[in-house]
Amino acid sequence: MANGKGLPEFQNLVREKNLEKRSIFIGFVPPWKIPSIIKLSTCVVVPERKFPIQYHRPILPREAMAVGKCLILSKELYDKRCYGNLADGENVLLVDPKNIKQFRTIIKDIISHPDTASRIGENAYKFSRQIENFDEYIDLTTNLYTSLIEKP
């Protein structure tokens, strides 16, 4: 799911690496459809590193855990502690995206062992249930929109 200025370059890279038969490009998807797409995956890979905004906290890792999918997360994001106290190999798999050999091995292993991916995903779901508070999230969102529409 991608769009934007970098999409043609990314599509060219996929062609250069002969990955067209293994890749599907779709445009942006509404937020309420994301869980069903994540559920179709064996794992969700978030290899972010050197993001130019220090306080950036992508929501995709939380979404993956909330639907019980195995999350492969960069150590950089893990070190920000924005997803709680995750345990490598238990409810997440940590990867150093600069270490291509390690990255490749982790992805190959998890795809080759879907039972391990399921176990990690189940543990991630249990962890998610401990750290997420849906009612609080709804209240915060409602308060935000209310404050935007109220007259000063």
Question: Domain locations in the chain?
Answer: 1-29, 41-149
Torsion of CA 114, 118, 123, 125, to 10 degrees: 130
DSSP state of 42: S
Q: How many CB atoms are closer than 10 A to CB 135?
A: 7
pLDDT for 152 equals 64
| Helix (H/G/I), strand (E/B), else coil: 56 | coil
Token pair for residue 41? 């995956």
What CATH class is the domain 41-149? Answer: alpha beta
| Global pTM value | 0.79
Q: How many CB atoms are closer than 10 A to CB 83?
A: 22
Cα gap 92→103, rounded to integer Å: 14
Q: Quick one: pLDDT band at residue 2, thresholds 50, 70, 90?
A: low
Decide if 65 contacts 81 (C-beta within 8 A).
no
Cα gap 31→48, rounded to integer Å: 20
Q: What is the mean pLDDT of residues 47-69?
A: 88
Q: What is the mean pLDDT of residues 100-128?
A: 96
Torsion of CA 85, 46, 63, 41, to 10 degrees: -120
Query: For the segment 30-50, what is each residue's pLDDT rounded down to a tens digit?
Result: 888 889 999 999 999 999 888
* Nearest of 61, 31, 36, 35 to residue 46 by alpha carbon: 61
Query: For the segment 67-113, what is each residue's pLDDT rounded down to a tens digit?
Result: 999 999 999 999 888 787 899 999 999 999 999 999 999 999 999 99
